[in-house]
Structure 1
Amino acid sequence: MSFSSFPSTCFSGFIALLIILLFQDTCHAKETTDYCAPSSCGKLENISYPFRLKGDNRKNCGDQRYELACESNVTVLYLSPGRYYVQAINYGNYTIRLVDPGVHNQESDCSSVPHNFASKNSFYSYFNPYVSDQKVDGIYGNDQWIQLLTPIIYLSCTNPVLDDARYVDTSPCIRGNSDSKGHTYAILEQLDAKDLKVGCKVKLIALTFWEWWVGKSPNNVSYTDIHKGLVYGFELSWMGGVCEKYCGKSLHAPSILPAT
């Protein structure tokens, strides 16, 4: 039987069946992709891949390793050092800005201190403290990297430290021990063991954004400056890992920060 003699009703049925099959394939393709409509929580209105909100049961929405919680209308990320509030997500350079709950919205109260003890190496499971500064044709290269984190080290000392400008006195914001005989200091950037003064102990390590301090000397900052940096928060990158699949190029960010 020639095509011309094929009954019109059969031809119409064949077309209808073909449309149904194509529609089913298209729906299945959408269900198996990692894309879904963005979510929102509080001031964050575009939470999308690789992030997802906890409790979002939509199939294949985001990556479970980057799951966020929405608590009292605040976006929260749980990491190994503790709980952090999400201030912003930058999908242009693959960074997320976090702030410790202890200093969140506490710029006017310099006595507030972070709750979490964290270091530069606390986040390597799914994040990196580096980001590429190269972007060519929408693809990040892997030859130039800048650090995102600067540590702030809190120390309790039995005696005043007067011979090292890096030891920033935290008073009157934070005072010493309850017996008023101790002294509390904060140091911006890394502290080598040889530079730890006799009678001083590390009490807390917090993090701030590296670029906040560009152009400033660690020897010439006030504790008010340091506290403002804590309130701003710090950034982490999700380059590498998930980005290797979705950013157009395999990325291998450095796993060890340079000595400071």
Structure 2
Amino acid sequence: MNLKPQLPLICLLALIAIVHANDDCAPLRCGNLTIGYPFRLKTQPRNCGDPRFELDCENSTDRVVLIIEQEKFYVQNISYSDYTIRFVDPSLVDTNNCSIPLSSFPLSGSSCDQYMFETIDYQFMYIVNCMTRMESRVYIDASRCINGSGSSSSQQSYFYFLVGRTPPSEFDPSCTTVARVPGDFQNISGLPTSDVYEKLSKGFEMSWRYYNMSCEDDQGFFIVHITLLGIICLIALVTYKWQRRHLSADDKIEEFLRSQNNLMPIRYSYNEIKRITKGFKDKLGEGGYGSVFKGKLRSNHLVAVKLLGKAKTNGQDFISEVATIGRIHHVNVAKFVGFCVEGSKQALVYDFMLNGSLDKIIFSGEDKITLSWQKTFEIAIGVARGIEYLHRGCDTQILHFDIKPHNILLDENFVPKVSDFGLAKLYSVDDSIVSLTAARGTLGYIAPELVYKNIGGISYKADVYSFGMLLMEMIGKRKNLNEFVEHSSQTYFPSWVYDRFNQGEDIELGDAPLTSTEKTIVTKMIIAAFWCIQMKPTDRPSMSKVLEILDTDIKFLEMPPKPYQLLLESSSSTEDYLTKSTLVDYN
């Protein structure tokens, strides 16, 4: 087995184990903030975090303090997902304080021994001390405690705010600059003093992602440990946010999120989702679940953001998706990056798949991408491995219940990823038969036992059936049920293929005749598909057995009985089954 793709994960897990073993470096709480890598509290050992990002926990106020170049700042928030930290001048915290903010935050460090914070789309504002009163609108009185003359403490000293776009050289000669602070000050001319202080009290945000690339030793240090930060510290931070935020109108979702202590994805705010998608600018697709938009994280990593529509199941689709894919990792399962829940606004963030979904490949028109039979076979095997992992590779058994080409995504190398877990359910691995209060699935792929209870119990074999129907469509490059084909005998593709194949006739699948190698591939896929779509669940193989069939020499493979015979004996016609299936078409 090729372990190269697994090495990054193995190394990462090993590093996590090492970090967790060191309790002295575990994330700590101060007030309402969690302090973790790359930050460290001064009470922690020097090897914890980065010494350039040392914070202090003020015992009297439970406030997080940063002291840089002898200037003191309070930390309002730390976002480990976006690599941002928000500061505020201490004088602005106490509304009864008459002092003027005189601290100047440095832009960034110039060496490896200094802080390296960068501003994020902010203007700068100067605070100036003038010896005479200024009457211009660009000079805004900075005094909070006004005496009779309108100055601050001295009759000969007047403090003003001055927008940062005014160069210091153009200041009035009687004024000197005493501080420069970053913030959202695009236009403060003419604003009341109270409004300016309100802007200041919101603090200013900086990014710590930009660091001096000439510091070679620290470069590897940052890359490795910031990666660990997103895994180690985020769980504690998100858990705390879940406990203190009650913004969601759906208590069921919030209760579920609070109960999960092993979820790895990031929780984004709705504003962050809008920023990631640039205001939902690039729409990738739409369905019954909502819409999907292309987005980009601050790291330039491309993602697909699924913005869920109004929930028809009291948030159950969201819970199903997060509960299942939020705890697993497999090369053939879509990677779940994060989620958003703010009231009725729900979104799911995944890795972006360059080649879209499988249905666009096998069902598209003249512009469709033509895949070789070898590549089609590799995609089929990848999907099978992904489903097998869901059934047997986790501590809990995950039944997808909606396997179809639309839910198979393809990356830049056409590696398939099973996606869309909105209908998925988790069960114990010991449960051979599971209970469902209602059928679920999509027309053309739903297993018959979900409609006819007398056929057999519901189990992971429902996903096996759906995979068989997907295989058939990959073989035929068309929908299994198509009323517009040239010959009526081809309306239902699996029946037509079975009759031709069982009689030893050549099956025409495209314009060019198949080579011997391609015939072997198609034969394996056909035999595997017909085993998967047997009517009785007990007659279907497990996904492990399906993979064996796809890997076995065709001379050792046996063609199964024709499907639907049992159904035809217990029902008026196959069409009756297909008609009933439409009742559970969720997409």
Alpha carbons 1:120, 1:151 under 8 Å: kept: no
The aligned residue for residue 95 of structure 1 is 84
Change (3 A) 1:221 1:63: same
The aligned residue for residue 85 of structure 1 is 74
Change (3 A) 1:112 1:183: closer
**1:112 and 2:99 matched:** yes
Could you tell me which amino acid in structure 2 is paired with residue 236 of structure 1? M
The aligned residue for residue 8 of structure 1 is none
The aligned residue for residue 175 of structure 2 is 200
1:129-151 Cα distance to aligned partner (Å, 9 max, x none)? 234xxxxxxxxxxxxxxx24x43
Q: From 145, 161, 173, give the equivalent of 2:134.
A: 161
- When structure 1 is superposed on structure 2, of 174-183 and 192-201 the one drifting more is 174-183
Change (3 A) 1:52 1:173: same
TM-score calculated relative to the size of structure 1: 0.62
Query: Which residues in structure 2 correspond to 1:134-145 (within 5 Å)?
Result: none
Distance in 2 (CA, whole Å) between partners of 1:66 and 1:74 is 16
Q: Secondary structure at the match of 1:97?
A: strand
**1:48 and 2:36 matched:** yes
Question: C-alpha displacement at 1:128, in angstroms?
Answer: 2.7
The aligned residue for residue 409 of structure 2 is none
Alpha carbons 1:110, 1:224 under 8 Å: kept: no
Distance in 2 (CA, whole Å) between partners of 1:29 and 1:177 is 54
Question: C-alpha displacement at 1:123, in angstroms?
Answer: 5.3
Question: C-alpha displacement at 1:50, in angstroms?
Answer: 0.8
1:158-183 Cα distance to aligned partner (Å, 9 max, x none)? 33322x32111235635537552443
The aligned residue for residue 209 of structure 2 is 239
Moved over 4 A (4+): 26-29, 32-36, 242-245
Alpha carbons 2:40, 2:53 under 8 Å: kept: yes
Structure 2: which 5+ runs fail to align? 1-12, 212-218, 231-296, 300-587
TM-score calculated relative to the size of structure 2: 0.30
The aligned residue for residue 389 of structure 2 is none
1:174-227 Cα distance to aligned partner (Å, 9 max, x none)? 55375524433211324313421132222x2142433xx45xx23232221221
**1:209 and 2:183 matched:** yes
**1:61 and 2:48 matched:** yes
Structure 1: which 5+ runs fail to align? 1-25, 132-146, 252-260
Could you tell me which amino acid in structure 1 is paired with residue 139 of structure 2? Y
1:86-128 Cα distance to aligned partner (Å, 9 max, x none)? 1110112111111122222x2x347332252x15536563333
Change (3 A) 1:168 1:42: same
Distance in 2 (CA, whole Å) between partners of 1:29 and 1:232 is 35
Q: Secondary structure at the match of 1:224?
A: helix
Question: C-alpha displacement at 1:53, in angstroms?
Answer: 1.6
Q: Secondary structure at the match of 1:219?
A: coil
Paired residues, number: 198
Distance in 2 (CA, whole Å) between partners of 1:223 and 1:201 is 19
Question: C-alpha displacement at 1:41, in angstroms?
Answer: 0.8
Distance in 2 (CA, whole Å) between partners of 1:95 and 1:34 is 27
Query: Which residues in structure 2 correspond to 1:220-239 (within 5 Å)?
Result: 220-239=190-209
**Structure with larger RCO (C-alpha < 8 A, sep 6+):** 1
Query: Share of identical aligned residues, percent?
Result: 29
1:224-256 Cα distance to aligned partner (Å, 9 max, x none)? 12212222222221112365553699x8xxxxx
Distance in 2 (CA, whole Å) between partners of 1:39 and 1:65 is 18
Distance in 1 (CA, whole Å) between partners of 2:15 and 2:205 is 37
Distance in 1 (CA, whole Å) between partners of 2:54 and 2:21 is 14
Question: C-alpha displacement at 1:33, in angstroms?
Answer: 8.3
The aligned residue for residue 254 of structure 1 is none
**1:121 and 2:110 matched:** no
Could you tell me which amino acid in structure 1 is paired with residue 166 of structure 2? L
Computed over aligned residues only, the root mean square deviation of the Cα atoms, in angstroms, reads: 3.5
Q: Secondary structure at the match of 2:181?
A: strand
Distance in 1 (CA, whole Å) between partners of 2:166 and 2:209 is 28
Q: Secondary structure at the match of 1:85?
A: strand
Q: Secondary structure at the match of 2:82?
A: coil
Could you tell me which amino acid in structure 2 is paired with residue 230 of structure 1? L
Distance in 2 (CA, whole Å) between partners of 1:40 and 1:176 is 41
Alpha carbons 2:118, 2:208 under 8 Å: kept: no
